[in-house]
Amino acid sequence: MDASTMGRLERFLDPYLDLLGRDERRRHGRGYVQALMVGGGRRTAAGIARTLGADEQSVQQFVNQSRWSPSALLCRLAEDTGAIAPGLCGFVIDDTGFVKQGRHSVGVARQYSGTLGKTGNCQVAVSLSLAWDQAAVPLEFDLYLPPEWTDDPDRLRRAGLAHDTPFREKWRIALELLGRARARGIQAEIVCADAGYGIVTEFRRELNRLELSYALGVQKTLTFWIAPRADIPPAPKSGSVGAPRKPRLPARIAAEAYAASLPPEQWTTLTWREGTKGPMRSRFTAVLVEPAHTAFRKSGEREAEQWLVIE
């Protein structure tokens, strides 16, 4: 990194590092970020210490034991993001995997990581970013603790966590991150996430309750009714004894089967941007549906009608 770039980085970091408090923390924080950007090899404390020409123990203490308020730093980040973000933005929810060896790092387990593209030994954090055409700014991260951690009070205590730390599904963590970002004044037109979140009926329902528009991935096994749902009227009773019969639900449709049944004229070819190998285009169709989630179907509660977009 040349002197000019280093100067720009330091000027960018200064208002955030001021929130760390003591001079020693600010010095370690500046060096830590610089080492992440210019250092080669694995970004371990030992590797960062070598890059900085610093003592490994001091780097470890900065990462593990330094006491400063992440809330204050995130509030400053939200303030600065709000000042540069245009009117049309989206919240992007995603998982970020951190490959780890062993079993002692907080939250580490054999679990799926999008970073790896497979199941492996890793930590997984739920992230929230604000994105628009030219940029994406990370706003919030929170570590996901698998049940094998939250069900083991001794393991939690040894890792420095409260022994009664509750289990939180990733979609619940995502809602907490959204709530914190919005409380700091960050607003967006739409919430975007992959099928890991889109298949959760409770997550979609909560976004509807918060009056947040969304574009969420779903799986091809999603079942639904074409909206408006046409319930099947009951057959007339021969007598007047007993409670009146209720309408029956129509057959559910699976997304994959529905897509396969459509004739060619139901599809529209769309180009959304230029890629490195030419225009990026595909065929799409859309249908207004009412999702048919099992738990909600049994309770009689209905989910809001929404557009299913199929590529």
Q: How many angstroms separate the CA atoms of 121 and 111, rounded?
A: 6
Q: Please indicate whether residue 8 or residue 41 has the higher confidence score (pLDDT).
A: 8
pLDDT at 53: 80
pLDDT at 302: 83
Segment 172-200 mean pLDDT: 94
Strand partners for 91 = 130, 191
Q: Please indicate whether residue 175 or residue 236 has the higher confidence score (pLDDT).
A: 175
Q: What is the pTM of this model?
A: 0.86
Q: How many angstroms separate the CA atoms of 124 and 35, rounded?
A: 23
Please provide residue 55's backbone torsions phi and psi, each rounded to the nearest 5 degrees: -80, 130
- Angle at CA of residue 35, ends 31 and 38, nearest 5°: 135
Q: Is the peptide bond before 228 cis (omega within 30 degrees of 0)?
A: yes
Segment 46-74 mean pLDDT: 83
Is residue 303 over pLDDT 80?
Answer: yes
pLDDT confidence band for 277 (50 / 70 / 90): very high
pLDDT confidence band for 132 (50 / 70 / 90): very high
